[in-house]
Amino acid sequence: MRYRATRPRRLWPYALAIMAVSGLGAALGAYWLYRTDDRVYFRVEEFRSRLYSALNPQPDMLPTVAVAQTFPTPTGAALPVSGAVLDERTGEDADASRTPAATAGAGSSAPPATETPDVTATPAASPTPLPAQVTLTGFRHEYQKFNNCGPASLAINLSYWGWSGNQDDTAAFLKPNQDDKNVSPIEIYDYLKRNGYEAYIRVNGDVETLKRFLASGYPVLVEKGFWCEPGEKRCNDWFGHYSVFNGYDDSKKLFILQDTFRGPNLKLTYDDVIQNWRAFNFVYLVIYPDTPEHDARVEALLGPDVDLQRNYQAALTRARQEATTLTGEDAAFAWFNVGTTLHYLQDYAGAAAAFDQARAIGLPYRMLWYQFGPYRAYFFTGRYQDVIDLATFAIQSTPKPGLEEAFYWRGLAYEAIGQADKAVEDYRAALAQNPSDAQAREALARLGLSP
């Protein structure tokens, strides 16, 4: 009997299939870690940022002013108007059409309409001496996820008032795009109003301001500058950063903070707080349950600063004094504060000149991730090329911009000089970054286009 020789089976197709399935599984697992593990996400983004910087070198400072090219300022109804009625509670434009999700920064340009309470300047709080030491308790601390200090800090602040949510809840409204670089005070305010809370946003805070509110049982949410320590993990260079202030100690001249990056009960000296706070015009938010009793109490604690114009005038006086006495980066921040306050007061020419001074001294390249006053000041003085240059710099400073404000303002500048195609491209880019950006959506509608 003859037997047919058996051919050996070809195993390589099975091996390839196993390798393909394993590779796909590994890729899916890596992507899952990237999206769910903040440490992995940060390392990937840090590597991407370093690679991007190596291939696209960027200066460490904002570009200085080139030869100014000025065009006539817009006068038609098609483009934004420069006048504004400021909301007494938030300090933002009360008649602007922009939705909350699209506003940003202490230098924000066109915030949403909010209810304007009837307020008058009231006497300062009782002259009773403040206690030498105060520590508010009852906070539920949580460490921030990647680039999430605003939502995390707000969650901590609200936990003091019995709120049970966390940073995922606040971020879902405040920054649904994880790459969004900033949450502004006005965005926080809108979230609060939707959830049964109230707040005052003011600038020109100081040590005594913080102590006065803390001594009366009100934690204070502060946006300030933040320098990373040498070798500090998941951190490099300078950022804007929120922290919740919950105590102080006069004997040691220390504030106590619930910090989402460096941990609970962080201690900072009074001097360090002031120096870092300067980068944001000493802005602060006092948050509380929306009741008449709390409202009256907070207004009394604000004293003269309950009057928005007085608050801005005091901030302007302070910023001008600091701009002429400080040096280096502190002077640059002081000049920026002059510009920010003047732009709120609608002196756009004065604001533009102050921003020029700040840029000449040198500002961190991430400054326009958080504050957008220069865009507005330059736009309403006809300096459209400055708007385009600064917005382009901000967009190119990171591989994943998340800066819908930069795209929007650059689009406005392009539209103002007649480059409608580029304007449309930028408006659509702004909406891609933030689908809730009503101004970009309205800009497209103004041109007869859909998103």
Find where tokens 């047919």 sit. 4
Which residues are within 8 A (CB) of 274 and not within 5 positions of it... i.e. 6 or more apart?
Answer: 206, 207, 282
How much is the pLDDT for 229? 84
> What is the structure's pLDDT at 339?
98
120 Cβ contact partners less than 8 Å away, ≥ 6 residues apart:
306, 307
Cα gap 224→41, rounded to integer Å: 25
More confident site: 319 or 108: 319
* Residues 254-273 pLDDT 10s: 999 999 999 999 999 999 99
What would the DSSP string read from start to end of 282-348? T-EEEEEES-HHHHHHHHHHHGGGGSHHHHHHHHHHHHHHHHHH--HHHHHHHHHHHHHHHHHTT-H
pLDDT, greater one: 201 or 64? 201
Residue 202, H or E segment: strand 197-202
* pTM of this structure: 0.82
**What is the model's pLDDT at position 121?**
37
Checking phi first, is residue 139 left (phi over 0); if not, alpha (psi -120 to 50) or beta?
beta
Predicted confidence (pLDDT) at residue 93 exceeds the cutoff of 80: no
**CA 269 to CA 252: how far, in whole Å?**
8
Local confidence band at 178 (pLDDT 50, 70, 90 cut-offs): confident
pLDDT of residue 217: 98
**For 23-49, what is the HEC assignment?**
HHHHHHHHHHHHHHCHHHHHHHHHHHH
- Give Dmax over CA atoms of the chain in angstroms: 116
Domain spanning 133-309: CATH 3.40.50.300: no
Strand partners of residue 134 = 248
pLDDT higher for 302 or 400?
302
Integer Cα distance of 244 and 272 in angstroms? 15
Confidence at residue 99, expressed as pLDDT on a 0 to 100 scale: 27
Token digits for 111? 């915030």
Euclidean distance between CA atoms 397 and 375, whole angstroms: 17
What are the angstrom distances between the C-alpha of 447 and each of 73, 79, 420, 430, 442?
19, 11, 9, 15, 9
Higher pLDDT, 229 or 26: 229
* Res 8: pLDDT: 61
Break the chain into its structural domains and give their ranges. 133-309
pLDDT at 36 over 80: no
Residue type, 285: L
Query: Mean of the pLDDT values across residues 135-164?
Result: 96
User: What is the predicted pLDDT for the residue at 122?
Assistant: 42
Question: In this predicted structure, what is the pLDDT of residue 370?
Answer: 94
Average pLDDT over the chain reads 84
Instruction: Provide the β-strand partners of residue 267.
Output: 256
Q: Cα 401 to chain center, whole Å? A: 13
pLDDT value at residue 179: 82
Q: Is the pLDDT assigned to residue 48 strictly greater than 70?
A: no
Q: For residue 95, what pLDDT band results from cuts at 50, 70 and 90?
A: very low
